[in-house]
C-alpha cells in the first residue's frame, strides 16, 4: 500500500473501489441528500444500498461476513461519500469504526460470531456509548455504572451524542461503565447491550446544526440487565481499549473531512465557471482563482496526511501522532474550505439548496467529534515528548 505515497497513484483495487463509491455517491446519495437534510430523516434507502455494496464490511475478514479489505479501503469510501453528504459518510464511519470495530478488536470468538455478521452486512447498526454530560473530552470521568448481580451486569447512567443509537436497525450499543472503584482509581469496562433491552432508552433525537440526516441520541440506562459474558474485552480495560479505537477512528474522520474539503472545491470550481459577473466567469478573477487554489492545496495536503497515517497503521507501526495530525489538518481544511466555498457562492452559498451551505453547517463538528482540535494538539505534543 505504501507505494502510492511516492507515486501518487492508487493501486487498481483501491482505485476501482473509489470509483464505484464515487458513482454511488453521485447517482444515489446526492439526489436525496438535500431532502433528508431538510426533513431531518435517516436515509434508510441509502444505507441499504451501502449495505448491498458491502461497505459496512470493508475492513473485516470474510469469515465474519466482511469483504476482506482493510481500513484504508474504508477511508477511501468515506472520502467519496463525504464529498456529497457528510451525514451518510458518518453513518458508515460510526457503524464500522464505533459499532463493529470494538467487537472485532476486543471481542471473544462467541461475541464475534454473534455480532459481526449482522454489523458487517449493514443489516444492523451498532453504536458506542462513551460520551457523558460531564465527561466529553474527559471520557475517563465516566459516571455510568455497572455492577454484577446474579450473573448479570446491571447498568445505570446516561450517555450523550451517540451516533446510530436510535435507528430502526440499531441492534447493539457498547457502553463504557465504571465496574469497580479502588481508592481514587475507577475501573472502566465495556459492556455489550443488545437493542432492545429492558431499561435501555434512546431519548428523542437532537436538533443539530448539521449532520441532520445522521441519527444521534442521548441514551438512558435504567437498571439494564445483560449477561455477565457481555463484557467486551478485559475487565477494567474499557477506556484504554477505546483509546485505540479513537486512534483508528481519527484516520477515518480525516478521510471524511478530506471528502468534505474536496466537495467544496469541486462545487466552487463548477460555480466559478458558470457564474458570470462584469462580462466574464467569476473564475477568471484572480481573487476567486487564488481562493480556489488554496482550497485545493488544503484538500491535497490533508489527503496526504491521512494516507500517511493509514499506511503506518496497516504496516503495524505506531501511528497515534500521525492520526492526530491527519484529523487536525483535515477537519480544519473542511471547515476552511466550507467557509471559502460559501463566500465564492455569495448569496447562493447561504441557501440550503446548494451543497456548500450544507457543508458549511456540517463541517464544524469535524473539529469536535472523536477528539477536538485541542485534543489533537495535545496528543501531537505529548507524542513529541512535551
Structure confidence by residue, pLDDT tens digits, 142-174: 899 999 999 999 999 999 999 999 999 999 999
Nearest to 162 by CA among 150, 148, 144: 144
Confidence of residue 281 (pLDDT cuts 50, 70, 90): very high
What CA–CA distances, in Å, run from 184 to 142, 154, 176, 187, 358? Answer: 13, 22, 18, 10, 45
Nearest to 101 by CA among 227, 291, 251: 251
Structure confidence by residue, pLDDT tens digits, 333-381: 999 999 999 999 999 999 998 999 999 999 999 999 999 999 999 999 9
Which residues belong to the active site? 370
Residue 230 is placed in which grid cell? 457481555
53 C-beta neighbours (distance < 10 Å), count: 18
- Listing DSSP states for 18-63 in one string gives HHHHHHHIIIIIHHHHHHHHHHT---HHHHHHHHHHTGGGTTS-GG
Provide, rounded to the nearest whole percent, the portion of the chain with pLDDT above 70. Answer: 97
Average pLDDT over residues 210-234: 98
Q: Is the pLDDT of residue 297 over 80?
A: yes
Domains of the chain, earliest start first: 3-124 (1.10.540.10), 126-237 (2.40.110.10), 240-383 (1.20.140.10)
Amino acid at each position: 500500500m505504501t507505494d502510492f505515497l511516492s507515486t501518487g497513484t492508487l493501486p487498481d483495487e483501491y482505485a476501482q473501489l473509489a470509483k464505484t463509491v464515487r458513482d454511488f455517491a453521485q447517482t444515489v446519495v446526492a439526489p436525496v441528500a438535500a431532502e433528508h437534510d431538510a426533513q431531518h430523516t435517516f436515509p434508510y434507502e441509502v444505507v441499504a444500498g451501502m449495505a448491498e455494496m458491502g461497505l459496512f464490511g470493508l475492513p473485516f475478514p470474510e469469515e465474519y461476513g466482511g469483504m476482506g479489505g482493510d481500513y484504508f479501503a474504508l477511508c477511501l469510501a468515506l472520502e467519496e461519500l463525504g464529498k456529497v453528504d457528510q451525514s451518510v459518510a458518518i453513518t458508515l464511519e460510526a457503524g464500522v469504526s464505533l459499532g463493529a470495530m470494538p467487537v472485532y478488536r476486543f471481542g471473544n470468538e462467541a461475541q464475534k460470531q454473534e455480532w459481526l455478521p449482522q454489523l458487517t452486512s449493514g443489516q444492523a447498526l451498532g453504536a458506542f456509548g462513551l460520551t457523558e454530560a460531564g465527561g466529553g473530552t474527559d471520557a475517563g470521568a465516566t459516571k455510568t455504572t455497572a455492577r454484577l448481580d446474579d450473573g448479570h451486569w446491571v447498568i445505570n447512567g446516561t450517555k450523550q451524542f451517540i451516533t446510530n443509537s436510535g435507528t430502526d436497525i440499531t441492534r447493539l450499543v457498547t457502553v463504557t461503565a465504571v465496574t469497580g472503584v479502588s481508592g481514587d482509581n475507577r475501573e472502566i469496562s465495556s459492556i455489550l447491550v443488545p437493542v432492545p433491552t429492558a431499561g435501555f432508552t434512546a431519548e428523542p433525537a437532537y436538533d443539530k446544526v448539521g449532520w441532520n440526516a445522521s441519527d444521534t441520541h442521548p441514551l438512558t440506562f435504567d437498571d439494564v440487565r445483560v449477561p455477565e459474558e457481555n463484557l467486551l474485552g478485559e475487565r477494567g480495560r474499557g477506556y484504554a481499549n477505546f483509546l485505540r479505537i479513537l486512534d483508528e477512528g481519527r484516520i477515518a474522520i480525516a478521510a471524511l473531512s478530506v471528502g468534505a474539503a474536496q466537495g467544496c472545491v469541486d462545487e466552487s470550481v463548477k460555480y466559478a465557471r458558470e457564474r458570470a459577473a462584469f462580462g466574464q466567469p467569476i473564475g477568471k478573477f484572480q481573487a476567486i482563482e487564488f481562493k480556489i487554489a488554496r482550497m485545493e492545496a488544503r484538500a491535497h495536503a490533508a489527503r496526504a496526511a491521512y494516507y500517511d497515517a493509514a499506511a503506518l497503521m496497516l504496516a503495524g507501526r505506531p501511528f497515534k501522532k500521525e492520526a492526530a495530525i491527519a484529523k487536525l489538518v483535515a477537519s480544519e481544511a473542511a471547515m476552511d474550505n466550507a467557509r471559502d466555498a460559501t463566500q465564492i457562492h455569495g448569496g447562493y452559498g447561504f441557501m440550503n439548496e446548494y451543497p456548500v451551505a450544507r457543508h458549511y453547517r456540517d463541517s464544524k463538528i469535524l473539529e469536535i467529534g472523536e477528539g477536538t482540535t485541542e485534543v489533537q494538539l495535545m496528543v501531537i505534543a505529548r507524542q513529541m515528548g512535551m
